Structure 1
């Protein structure tokens, strides 16, 4: 019998065109294998999976977030029905911020935040009542929690994520220069206070050393076959000196790889020397997140930077030949038509190559969640057409039409970034999800 099967369920709704390796469970797999446990990994977004494949494992762990919780919960119940002796555990962003949601499920443990050391303790000392970092059932069947485990300070001690357990050729993003595309995260934690974001990995910024990051990039290129890497840090450019060292080490080792920062960076951390060095090291795409064109909304979500910083960053990138992507969020619960119009105006006037709109989703554990929950009175929620799910979908469609269909030259800019067939796939995806038409 094998020790552990880790599963990342498929996101629901068919609204996702980008797929990247699930780094969370891949870190768990490599860490636990280093400690002597046998671990298999399944990413349901890349490979079909049936609950019957859980046979022969002592423990099955499922990583859950807001997009895959429905499919993940159904999978857990089906595994329990078929194999009631298998120990089921969950972790990930949603169990971290809302563990009580999962109390009714047939689970042995609910892990919070980063789980490398917590899951190791659970597997190695299953009956130890003093273990921290996860919820467990006591002798009476009640859930207990002994507190959080301290965050891992030295991230360099973690082995590289077990990308060798997956076929990275199955992952896809239309925004790429090369293929196959993989992912990397070089730091954990975020010290900023954006109201729509939850600090699943803590508020303290913890970064891997430049040497360790470059070692992984080289390993991915030579051993995994990666040709492009998406850097998924929340704040990759927060430590300017570290970024410069990473880039210079890549250049010194002559590692040929395309790099994109599609998770967004803060515009106020960029300058010409840094961007020039990043481009030389392989960075071809940078995403910035102005989030809104409404000053009132920016103040309420605590996005603490000036709009001119974003435009300055975009201008520098364009001058240096780095492609750019900007993110906006629509449908905050207090917003009116004027706020929406201000955001669309900002998106239309931006100098970015691509514009992406997201519908506001109230995430548990965030300051905006209580405001957005049904039944909680708030002044902003009176505007039901803007706040409702259908209203937010309509807003997104209107915004995309304004940015792309009314400004067709922006579509031509996409041809410099995405292959023609990928643009065709994007259009088909837009029809399917009704995001634009």
Structure 2
């Protein structure tokens, strides 16, 4: 069978594909690559990846494309499941014989419930890593013999044996090659990355135990598996030689720095490839990465780190099993500044233990860190996470919908002592106190004065941010 790998249409500027950790429209236009879809696509002849939100395709456009394929594989999420099921239903109406497949954390955790909810619109759900499951289905293997899938037969759910996590990551194709083949690379943008950028993985899984983090608890596991440094370097070499104009490579591993030996080995191999071309790279790092490791990476082209600080309260950090203290986060940030590394901080409001006082504490902590940029998300208890189990047990979940009518995050967590409305409002207060400081404004103005491209970028992002905040007030919970 010839498969179409589809990131389906949802909301305008909706970043919800197989690469986004929080499926939502963001404050400023942001698009991650649908990286998870590219691996099986790269292994199957005649396949194609379509990213509807980025390519500005509506459902009618996707239907026309789907008619040329035998199977449609979509990565779905808890926030978009209902929309994605309706997309599958519409495709099957147009071409009844097509096989529709859903993948992703939600259907991994709730396979039978997802199939029942779909009411015939979805033929198969893949549980866990779906690279080889889809490949085997397309090769014509009997469904009962394909590990890691669930489907309905005579009205009853059939669950084949679990598929073991992939151990040989070097055997997978290069996602960057599929990007070049199928996707408009210049349409992908992350505000704090250099543009244009590409995103790749050097590992799967994460050894940390954060209770809210979705992928390690549902798809990739809490044991880190790595590609060989040589294999990673070969993909970087291919990018440098075949994607002219790329200015930055993002390693979107859950925690690139978790295996320091691997991180430094990769750095030393890719440094000679990227530095002569002026290409930089970024990583997701924990705020306990040591100075020496950071320095090796910086010396080999690392420019920017994305760090999940989450909260400025030590008790909340303990509650969520972050494994890092405020003191460690401060030391890490100081080390990054010593090395001239840019830092983007990610924070979450509404985690267990949140109060009006801790919200103020986190805001003050972010200002103390004085990062280059930051983002704030609302705590989202996705099924399959320890946070979800905790929230269900305590009765904290106030809504079944994680999104509002425009695709932006809603706060579904409601504590007896702190309402979901207060948590929702905390995000705007947080942004205003951080971004409208005289110090930050002065730095931004200076960047615009010395760099015309930076000026265009900041003005565009500023306009998007103000428009987003206006919408947010209009759709206030």
TM-score scaled by structure 1? 0.90
Give the one of 391, 394, 418 matched to 2:422: 391
What corresponds to 1:270 in structure 2?
Answer: 290
Residues 354, 414 of structure 1: 8 Å contact kept: no
Give the one of 365, 377, 386 matched to 1:358: 377
Residues 333, 381 of structure 1: 8 Å contact kept: no
What corresponds to 1:427 in structure 2?
Answer: 462
* Counterpart-to-counterpart distance in 2, 1:205 and 1:236: 10
CA separation of 1:13/1:358 partners in 2, compared to 1, >3 Å: closer, same or farther? Answer: farther
* Number of residues of Structure 1 aligned to a counterpart in Structure 2: 424
What corresponds to 2:36 in structure 1?
Answer: 24
Aligned to 2:295, what secondary structure does the other structure show? helix
1:326 corresponds to 2:326: no
Aligned to 2:213, what secondary structure does the other structure show? coil
Residues 85, 122 of structure 2: 8 Å contact kept: no
What corresponds to 1:409 in structure 2?
Answer: 439
**TM superposition shift of 1:278:** 1.5
**TM superposition shift of 1:369:** 0.9
Give the one of 145, 157, 161 matched to 1:130: 145
Give the one of 224, 227, 250 matched to 2:270: 250
What corresponds to 2:179 in structure 1?
Answer: 163
What corresponds to 2:407 in structure 1?
Answer: none
Give the one of 196, 201, 226 matched to 1:180: 196
- The residue correspondences of 1:198-237 to structure 2 (distance < 5 A) are 198=214, 199=216, 200-225=219-244, 226-237=246-257
**TM superposition shift of 1:53:** 2.2
Residues 20, 172 of structure 1: 8 Å contact kept: yes
What corresponds to 2:18 in structure 1?
Answer: none
Cα shift readout 1:306-341 (whole Å, capped 9, x = no counterpart): 222211111111111111111110022542211211
* Counterpart-to-counterpart distance in 1, 2:396 and 2:268: 53
* Counterpart-to-counterpart distance in 1, 2:370 and 2:281: 21
* Counterpart-to-counterpart distance in 1, 2:345 and 2:232: 26
* Counterpart-to-counterpart distance in 2, 1:283 and 1:293: 26
Residues 314, 326 of structure 2: 8 Å contact kept: no
What corresponds to 1:259 in structure 2?
Answer: 281
Aligned to 2:344, what secondary structure does the other structure show? strand
Q: Which runs of 5+ in 2 are unaligned?
A: 14-24, 398-411
* Counterpart-to-counterpart distance in 2, 1:276 and 1:85: 56
**TM superposition shift of 1:254:** 5.6
Residues 63, 92 of structure 1: 8 Å contact kept: yes
Residues 99, 123 of structure 2: 8 Å contact kept: yes
* Counterpart-to-counterpart distance in 1, 2:413 and 2:281: 41
Give the one of 431, 437, 441 matched to 1:400: 431
**TM superposition shift of 1:222:** 1.3
* Counterpart-to-counterpart distance in 2, 1:270 and 1:66: 36
What corresponds to 2:403 in structure 1?
Answer: none
* Counterpart-to-counterpart distance in 1, 2:418 and 2:306: 26
CA separation of 1:159/1:126 partners in 2, compared to 1, >3 Å: closer, same or farther? Answer: same
Give the one of 195, 205, 213 matched to 1:189: 205
